[in-house]
Structures are given as structure tokens and as C-alpha cells.
Structure 1
Amino acid sequence: MGKPTDTMRPSDDALSLHTTSVRRSDRYLDDDAPELQVDDLPPLYDDVADPTHGDSSSAPLLPSLPTSDFLGIAPLSKDADGNEYYIDPLLDSDPQVLEENVNGWAQTPPRPFVRLQGTHSQEVEENGKKTRKTVTDFDVQVELTPFLYSDAVNRVCFREVRTPENTDKVRRGTILAKRAPGSTQSIEVGLAPKPTLREWCHRYQASHAGLKSFTVTRRMVGFDEEKVKQKLEALVRNTNYRGHLNISFPVKDQYIHVYNEAKTNQWRLTRWIWWFCVLTLTFIFTWPYLFFRTKRFEVVTVDWAYSRPDEAGRKQYISISEDQWYNLWGRAVHRAVLEKRQCTLDQQDLIAAEGAPPVFGNSVVDGAMGIFRAGVSAMGEVNRQLGWGGDC
């Protein structure tokens, strides 16, 4: 249970390389890292999750990702970030069912993103009064989920289901995070082995707490966020952008929460009751009550490794390195920022960034699109030279 999935890293020879003519955005790419063709990009999450995606007559069907209700237990609710909430008597009464569901949930990856958001403040006049308003210049995201697989179709990945060490501070059926009892003993005295997943499932179901929850956390590890952040910040600033830049790494589908079967837990997950508490301000009383009444088991973490150290201590990537990722997406991000887009980029953006304009087969339309693209390019060049996005 504690060992990562035994997979092999694709050899460097498997990555196809190519050279391109030098463009303005190419100045910011890394010469040391090989560039990847668009065909090297693994399928998007939606492409893998939906076996009917695309032209079914020419493309082979892809097996769907494991669903959370594979044992017939469906989530009671799901929030905007993809986190799922379960209430089912089987998860309260049978440790084996809970363990099997945890192992099933572990097969679905988290959905990490790289997000670049640029804003500036602007003075506007409303009803005769001048106020400052925040304006979004661009909001661009790139999903990292495809790069957690070396073979997305066959689910080849670096994945590990683990439980906390006795010295880790986590909620162990408690209100606040704590270490295991006796974990402060010296090494000479010796510590009891940490509980396994099966033992934690038994402990959760043996708890007599009136309100309790069991949480599974899925996360990406082995990705150098600071390195990528520095490269993307330099890329955006080299467009002469003068606004406020925020680069973050949000994650969707990160948590699975299991609540025991109780009326209070049913109410806390009912949308209209939640809104009623917010609008009537009764959350001032309900939130402290739920916080101090609920005993939480946050004892299972599923690590999806973007990279991991090999026996020699070197980084072993499941797909591509951070430098290769940057070289693959750098032009598309550069273009999206200059076009002030607010979206999640996909393969079509990679193709467009490679300089393949769409052909409509109509001379009038093609001519109009050519003028439009020339105008957008001219505006982008002026912004690059004079600066753009500053507070005003």
C-alpha cells in the first residue's frame, strides 16, 4: 500500500524533437531543454475521460477514468472545485467497503493547473463619484493533469497511497491537528508502527462521535512551482506588462469527504440550508457548532508524482520536465497574454501558437481574418513597446 506504482519512465529517445525558426517569443525559451511537438502532448483530461470524444470513426476509443461511484456509492454533492461529499451507511459500517472506495478514489488524479492572472486598478466615475475599480487584463490557465501520466490510456503513473507518520500533525479523529500519542518519545524507546489504511478505516468506523468525517486528499508532488513561476513571470514582464501579476497553482478534484449518516451532516450538505444560514447570518452560530462537534480523520493522502528521485537521487520524470513543459507552452501563453484572453488553453492554442492560421476556404473571409490578425498583431506590438496594463 505504501509503495509507489511500479512504472518505467519513457526514455529520452521517445520524445520527438524539432527546430523552428526564431520568433519573438522564442527568445524566452530554454535552449538546454528539448522542445516537444504538439503531438507529444498527452490527451487532455476530457479527452481521456470521455471515450466518445472526437471522431469515433477514425479514433480508437479510450477507456474512461475511474468514476467515484464505481462500487455503486455515488457522491451526495460536489462543489465548484470538484471536491466530493459522501454520506452512505455502508461507508459507516463496513471497513472493507470504505477501504475499497479509498483505493478506487485514489485512481482518479487531482487536476492541477498553472494560472496567470493580470489585473490593474482604474479610476471610474459612478453616480458623480470617482472610485477605483479592479480590471482583469488576462486570466489564463494550463492544466497539468496530462503530464501525470507517461501513458494516459493505460494509466501509467507514479502514484502512492500513504497514511501519516506518527510524528505528523494531522486530525486523527480529533478537532485539531495532533501527533500520535507517544510520538515525542526518544528513538531509543521506540515508536509503534504507524496505522495502515485498513486500520484507519476501522478506527473511523469504531469512533462513537456523533458527527465525524473521513477525508482523502489527492495532490501533485515533485513539480517545481517556484521555477515555473519565475519563468512565466519573466515571459509576461517581457511583454512590457506593467499591471499586477499573480501566478498560482490551483487544484481541482483534490478532496473526498465522507460524513457519517446523521441529520446534521445531511443539512450541512444541503444547498438551500447553506444559503439560508449565510443570508440570515446564522452561520455565526452553526459554524462554531459544526467545527467543535465534528471529529475529523484526515489520514489518507494520495501522492501523484510529477517527478520523483531515482536510486541515485536524480529527478525521474513521469512525462516531461518543467523546462520541457515551459518550452511546449511558452508561445501559447505568450500569445494568450497579449490577446488578453480569459480561458483555459488546450491543444488548439498550441497549434495556433505554432503559426498555423485557420483556413476558411473563402477568399473574402480569409482576407478579413488576415486583416483582423494583422490588427491584433499591431496592437500587441504597440503594447509591447509602450507598456500596458498599468494602474490608471
Structure 2
Amino acid sequence: MASNTLDPKRAAAALPVSPAVSYRDDPDALSMHTTRGGYEYDDAPEFDDVPQLPSYDESVTAEGSSDDRAAPQPVDEYQIITAPKTNRNWGTKHTHSPHKAVGSETSIRMDERLLESKELYEYIENYLRMIPPRPMIRIQGWHWQKTKKRDKTETERIYDFNIVLNMQSLLPSSRDKGWVTAHTADNSDKVYRGSFRKTRAPGYRQDIEVGEEGTPDLREWCKRFAECKAALKIFRVERSVVGMNTDLIKEELEPLIRSTHYRGHIDITFPTADQNVDIYTPHWLNSARLSWVRWIFYLTFLWIFTWPVLFFMTKRWDVYNVQWSFSKIFTIDAEGRQEKRYAVMSERAWINRHADLVRSLVLDRFHGDGTDMPVNVDVDVEGSGRGARGQVPRTGNGSVDAAVGFIQGGVGAWNAFNGRAQREGWGADESGC
């Protein structure tokens, strides 16, 4: 029981790192104070877990055997380089807590082998097309608070909770026919085709095609990339998620969070890690622009001169996109009747399944990844008031603990009598902010 009195961050640091396990529900109540906190998971394999499927009444899912989903996933043979991050600018007000990374939207590969047409094609076809990106739900609660620093008062943004839930396990398998589609750019699409600017195919003018070539497939684009003699080249593969109703998820989650009497600001966003994969040529200029060397140019303002040079020298290709469908509309009979089906489960079924977990994480002011936590948890909004002020830790002395419990119970009864918890809530902006 002593673990319940530990600070969550210290408790998380004390936990050993273990390999990922299959997702399962814990029938017992869970104290969020003993769960893992901080998260850095840019390429972590533990988010490949698949949650228990809902009943047929909750959703109609994609057709696919369990053997297909249990099959081993292909392994990335190339080093993953994270794209440089940019700082968020909050204007004139300061941010007390750093904006935690949830994974990079763009990752980079830079290897001599990928300059060969065949190697590049096989890498895209056998790996990037098979492994989905990592869509996530990010739930943040924050408030403005005044703090005194030296001789001045500053207003800071204080994060009350910062929760990330990975949704990758709700995407279809690449073996589910019709649920994962690959698309190469049409001649009419204005995209990067080996230049520093977006263009349409040669010979294509407005809606009239004059001497237009056939639409190149992926193999042809890989060949053109390999044959280009430019020293600085980038070939991008986009992986996107379609069919997820993010507006519905927002509409359902916000009142769920408000039910904990939270009065602060709520931000619900949907970042996607590994959405773009860029293939760079292993040139020393590309290596420099991705390393600490770039900071020298930022601090000395040399980027004013180097950025235009790099922009015009770099040849880009952005002609291939793979889409994973969270849901799809199917025509089910000759009369044209349609039915919406889900790869794994619907948005509403997922929210109903995770409602208690989300509320408990909010009340515990959780900062981190809650994907692998059991969803069957006890939530006590009115009883302990832990979301607003936290519990008083036990001392181990029976008499002292009894006295503390008596006082705490009296305060809770007084607050309940006055309706203070329901009226004031917790997490509101400090007066004057």
C-alpha cells in the first residue's frame, strides 16, 4: 500500500522497463498513482497492442482472420532519424510545463542503399506500405497562473494533465483487402515531381491534355529518383488515416472531462506520428541540416543566406500516399443500401470503453501515455476530492492517521454541505489572469 503515497513521477522512475504485453482488462480497481508517467515513444514497439474487440452490436468490423493480425510485422532495416523539432510559441505568456513530444510527424531515412531504385521500391512496398502511422488522441488541461520571479510577476500556462492515447491498434491490418489503399500522383495533381516547387505532369494544361505521358507508378518514380544526379534529394512517402470522426470524439470527451468538475481549458488534438517518411540522400549538407550544426546558422543568422540555397538545390518527390481506413462505407445490396463498417471498433464504442480510464487519469492529473493501462478502474469524483487537492498520505501511525482521516472527512462533509466542489470545481484560471 505504500506505493499509493509515492509521487507519480518517482514511482514511474522506479518501475522496471518491461517488454510490451497484450492489451487486457484488469478486473480490479487501479490506483493511477502507481502507473507509469513520462513518455518518449518516437519508434517504440509497445504501441502495436490490439485491444479486446467490442461486441458485434457495437460495431461492424473489417473482415480478416486473427491469424493475419497475429502475423509478425516487417522490421525496418534502416536507421530512423527524427526530424528537427520547432518550439511552440505561446505569445507573451509563458508556459510552465514543456510541450511534451508525442512522436515526430515526419521521420527520416538516410542510407546509400536507398539510392538504388530496386532497394527504394522494395523498402516502400514491403515496409512503409505495410506498417501504419500512429494516430493519437492528446488530451490537455491547463490554466493560467501568476508567479513572481525576482521583481516582476509573470503569467504562466500550467498543465493540469497531459494524456496521450495511441489509436494505432484500431487501424486495419495491411492484409485487410480494401481497407488500405496506395495511390500515386495523377498527372493532374500539383505535387513535387523532382523539383523545388510543385508542378503538374509535363504536357498537362488546365483540363486539356496535350501529348501527356502515362501516369507513372511507384516503380517508375523510384527509378526517376535514383537516376536524378542532384546531390540533395528527398523522396517522401505519406501515410494517412481516413474515416475517423474526430469531431465526435471531441464532443464526447469534453463533457466526460467536465464531469470531474474540471474548470480549466481543455485542448483535444489528434497528432499522427510517422505520418511522413522522408528518404534523404546521404550528403554532408543533409547530415548538417539535421544535426546540431544547424543551430550555429540559427544563432549567427547565416540561415538567411543558406536557406534559399538549400531550398533551390533540393529536389523533392511527393508522389506516393498510403491511406489506412478507420471506417468505410460499403454498398451491401443491389438496391444501393449502404452500411458503415469499422476496422476494429467505432469511435463511440472506444469512448464508452475508455470513459472511466480517461476520468481517472484526469482526476490524477496524469502526464504521460495511458494507452496500455487497464480500462476497468474505479472513479470517485465526489468522495476524496483527489482531483482538486489530492489525498493526505498515510504516516503509518494509527492514531495520527485516524485523526487526519477524521479531519479530512469533516472538511469533505463541509464542502459537500456548501456545494463548494460542484460550484468552484478545480483547475480554473487564477483570478486576474
TM-score, normalised to structure 1, is 0.70
Counterpart residue number, 2:354:
329
Asked if the contact 1:197/1:300 (under 8 Å) is kept, the reply is yes
Counterpart residue number, 2:152:
129
Whole-Å Cα distance in 2 between the matches of residues 254 and 200 of structure 1? 20
Counterpart residue number, 2:123:
101
Whole-Å Cα distance in 2 between the matches of residues 354 and 337 of structure 1? 10
Whole-Å Cα distance in 1 between the matches of residues 157 and 344 of structure 2? 39
Counterpart residue number, 2:46:
46
Counterpart residue number, 1:386:
424
Counterpart residue number, 2:161:
138
User: Which is further off, 184-193 or 157-166?
Assistant: 184-193
What pairs with 1:4-43 in structure 2 (closer than 5 Å)?
Answer: none
| 1:353-380 deviation digits (Å, cap 9, x = unpaired) | 589xxxxxxxx99x98xx7xx98xx699
How far does residue 199 in structure 1 lie from its aligned partner after superposition? 1.3
User: Which is further off, 290-299 or 279-288?
Assistant: 279-288
Whole-Å Cα distance in 2 between the matches of residues 207 and 231 of structure 1? 50
Asked if the contact 1:87/1:259 (under 8 Å) is kept, the reply is yes
Whole-Å Cα distance in 1 between the matches of residues 300 and 283 of structure 2? 23
Asked if the contact 2:48/2:168 (under 8 Å) is kept, the reply is no
Identity rate, percent: 33
Asked if the contact 1:91/1:97 (under 8 Å) is kept, the reply is yes
How far does residue 168 in structure 1 lie from its aligned partner after superposition? 2.5
The residue identity in structure 2 corresponding to 1:102 is I
Counterpart residue number, 2:89:
none
Counterpart residue number, 1:20:
none
| 1:46-89 deviation digits (Å, cap 9, x = unpaired) | 1648xxxxxxxxxxxx66532221xxxx2262345274322333
Counterpart residue number, 1:223:
244
SS in 2 for 1:348: coil
Match of 2:260 among 229, 239, 251: 239
Would the alpha carbon gap of residues 214 and 383 (structure 1) be closer, same or farther in structure 2, given more than 3 Å must change? farther
Match of 1:212 among 233, 256, 261: 233
Query: Does structure 1 residue 314 correspond to structure 2 residue 334?
Result: no
Counterpart residue number, 1:112:
135
Whole-Å Cα distance in 2 between the matches of residues 45 and 314 of structure 1? 34
Whole-Å Cα distance in 1 between the matches of residues 355 and 295 of structure 2? 42
Whole-Å Cα distance in 2 between the matches of residues 390 and 179 of structure 1? 52
- Count how many residue pairs are aligned between Structure 1 and Structure 2: 315
Asked if the contact 1:45/1:145 (under 8 Å) is kept, the reply is no
Match of 1:289 among 288, 293, 309: 309
| 1:137-193 deviation digits (Å, cap 9, x = unpaired) | 11111110011137xxx9657222221223333212122223333444437979654
Match of 2:79 among 75, 82, 85: 75
TM-score, normalised to structure 2, is 0.64
Whole-Å Cα distance in 2 between the matches of residues 278 and 389 of structure 1? 38
Would the alpha carbon gap of residues 63 and 273 (structure 1) be closer, same or farther in structure 2, given more than 3 Å must change? farther
Asked if the contact 1:76/1:86 (under 8 Å) is kept, the reply is yes
Would the alpha carbon gap of residues 346 and 186 (structure 1) be closer, same or farther in structure 2, given more than 3 Å must change? closer
Would the alpha carbon gap of residues 330 and 165 (structure 1) be closer, same or farther in structure 2, given more than 3 Å must change? farther
How far does residue 124 in structure 1 lie from its aligned partner after superposition? 1.6
Counterpart residue number, 1:6:
none
What pairs with 1:119-198 in structure 2 (closer than 5 Å)?
Answer: 119-149=142-172, 156=176, 158-186=179-207, 192-198=213-219
Whole-Å Cα distance in 2 between the matches of residues 193 and 354 of structure 1? 60
How far does residue 274 in structure 1 lie from its aligned partner after superposition? 2.7
The residue identity in structure 2 corresponding to 1:127 is R
Consecutive unaligned residues of structure 2, counting only runs of 5 or more, are: 1-43, 50-69, 84-102, 332-336, 381-394
- The Cα RMSD (Å) is 3.4
What pairs with 1:242-321 in structure 2 (closer than 5 Å)?
Answer: 242-269=263-290, 271-311=291-331, 312-321=337-346
| 1:18-73 deviation digits (Å, cap 9, x = unpaired) | xxxxxxxxxxxxxxxxxxxxxxxxxx951648xxxxxxxxxxxx66532221xxxx
The residue identity in structure 2 corresponding to 1:100 is E
Would the alpha carbon gap of residues 241 and 177 (structure 1) be closer, same or farther in structure 2, given more than 3 Å must change? farther
Whole-Å Cα distance in 1 between the matches of residues 154 and 121 of structure 2? 55
The residue identity in structure 1 corresponding to 2:357 is A
Whole-Å Cα distance in 2 between the matches of residues 390 and 288 of structure 1? 46
Asked if the contact 1:241/1:387 (under 8 Å) is kept, the reply is yes
Asked if the contact 2:141/2:161 (under 8 Å) is kept, the reply is yes
Whole-Å Cα distance in 1 between the matches of residues 135 and 191 of structure 2? 23
The residue identity in structure 2 corresponding to 1:211 is L
Whole-Å Cα distance in 2 between the matches of residues 67 and 382 of structure 1? 55
The residue identity in structure 2 corresponding to 1:161 is A
Whole-Å Cα distance in 2 between the matches of residues 383 and 249 of structure 1? 31
Consecutive unaligned residues of structure 1, counting only runs of 5 or more, are: 1-43, 50-61, 356-363
Counterpart residue number, 1:17:
none
